[in-house]
Structure 1
Amino acid sequence: MNHLHSKTAIVTGASSGIGAATTRALIAQGVRVIAVSRDEEEVETFVASLRKNGAQIEAYTADVTCPEQMNAMALFALQTYASIDILVNNAGLMLFSNWSDLATTDWNNMIDVNIKGYLNAIAAVLPFMLEKKSGQILNMDSVAGHQVGPGAGVYSATKFFVQAMTESMRKELGVNHGLRISTISPGVINTGWADKVTDPAGRKAAHELNKLAIAPSDIADAVIYSLNQPANVTVNDLIISPTRQDW
């Protein structure tokens, strides 16, 4: 049964990788989508390609690290589709480095996007979900939110934050208000993340690791499974990894 048809979803980081695959999968279920990205040209091109096939989708250019832009985005969603039913918190950064490299710019960028960005998006949509006593928030986590490696300490810390935050949200917003709060924890996914690693040694390790990767569409399938449940069912967390990934 399709519990998603005619709902409105906001997807951050929607123009590439897991976000783009998730957006396509939601549209296939009859969901209306606000596709959010800070890259205006990329998101407009992506949305135009989907509209050719009749999708109900709007592009919105915003930086998740800016609370004001996230609040404006939520108002745009309401004005466009008259509801906010789903938030897929997906925009994120995964940057590897050794602690001894003191890659403080990478550390701060991950904290800003992976933690503050998620909080900003939640703060923007939560008042509307609380008012109508329904809604779903899916926070994209990672296997790095379940275990830690030496080259991914800050990234893992941001994803452990997502785990703790989501669990707290479930216990308050789910129990007291009927909202459904979930995480999906991908393993190694080929999203182009390895090319974004600035540290030379970290980039080499990332490209080696990426040889195991599975496709963003595999994660999008898990997103649909998690969201497409009856109102009294919450899928708390799904870990989706390549078969040959050993951690």
Structure 2
Amino acid sequence: MYDIIIIGAGIAGVSAAITAKRRGLKVVVVEKNDVGGKLLLVDEIENFPGFLSIKGMELASILKQQLQKFNIKTLTFKEVINVEKGEKRFLVKLSDGRKLEAKSIILAGGVEHKKLNVKGEELVGKGVSYCAICDGFFFKNKKVAVIGGGDTAFSYALFLSDLCKKVYLIHRRKEFRAEEIRVNQLKKRKNVEILVPYVVKEIKGKQKVEGLILENQKTKKIMKLKVDGVFISIGYEPKLNF
């Protein structure tokens, strides 16, 4: 039996694991993907203390080295299927059939992408994506749209503007949550067009994405937009689906 099972190997999970290990506790980290979590999906990071600038993959590699340094058992590419709470222990069932027991658990599974919940969003892998860093190269010299107004959306749009023929950034408000520096950087890109205040009503296409149906929030006028890909970045919600 472990003292603590930590679900998630992102920054929070790794930090918790190191602290627990240094206090002499028996700990195991379980991660659905690889160590680093969302860091693996981020290109450039400029707001993490201690680094002027660092790639997400590089920071994830450092986290992995830290886990190894403290000899912390880490189970990667293992999904948590179920968590049961008994009187004196927690039972955690993994996707490979293993069952782990612990006195306590720490949920550091991070977040998952919010959905638009519109027709056509099911075309994931066929033009719809939630990760520009992962899938952007499939759209080189093509037209794409990024949905959202936060830092991630602007980072995606900046990244894609170096690859794609045309990038549309679509947001439901005229104001953005993104840092001003990112907004200004994107506005300088000649192949980027910002469309506000618009919401996506439908993603068009049968076998693959062919375009978008947009509605102006103020005038209610409908706009049809031809794109080859749609990158959705409208925020996250806690990952607690086990």
TM-score (norm 1): 0.31
Instruction: Name the structure where helix makes up a greater proportion of residues.
Output: 1
TM-score (norm 2): 0.31
